[in-house]
Amino acid sequence: MEHSLELMRDAKTIAVVGVSADPTRPSNDVAKYLIDAGYEVYLVNPTEQEIFGQPVYASLADVPVAVDIVDIFRRPGDVPPVVDAAIEAGAKAVWMQLGIVNEEAAATARAAGLEVVMDRCTKIEHRQLQMLGG
């Protein structure tokens, strides 16, 4: 089984960093999908208060639990501080969404013992996992 699929299969908690209240934004669609799929989802965006009736945290440091996956919806240049926060928060993995690649941030995460996925979508991977019966 592919690495990203194993992460989706084993994860229970996911923090979606950069989530938007705008239903036309991919981060909104993916966060809603993950919630509906049964994951415990923590929404992170300093400019939002509540999305889907759930509280939105200003930063990863404010999330009350250590999450399995930090799902990142930020520009590649904005990823390093999110990775640093994920390390600080005790996350198990950082996941950069489709179109997001930052090799330096990935190396930092790996050096700290985190799993790394880049340029992949958690929603697409979860659907693939479902098709495989996982």
Spatial distance between the Cα atoms of 41 and 18, rounded to a whole number of angstroms: 13
Q: What is the pLDDT of residues 29-83, one digit of tens each?
A: 999 999 999 999 999 999 999 999 999 999 999 999 999 999 999 999 999 999 9
Q: What does the pLDDT read at residue 96?
A: 98
State the chain's mean pLDDT as an integer.
Answer: 96
Among candidate residues 85, 82, 105, 98, the one with its CA nearest the CA of residue 29: 98
8 Å CB contact between 3 and 126: no
Q: What does the pLDDT read at residue 1?
A: 57
Mean pLDDT of 101-121: 98
Q: What does the pLDDT read at residue 133?
A: 82
Spatial distance between the Cα atoms of 32 and 9, rounded to a whole number of angstroms: 18
Res 128 pLDDT > 80: yes
Structure tokens belonging to residue 121: 């979508």
Give the right CATH number for 3-131 from 3.40.50.720, 3.30.200.20, 1.10.3470.10, 3.10.180.10.
Answer: 3.40.50.720
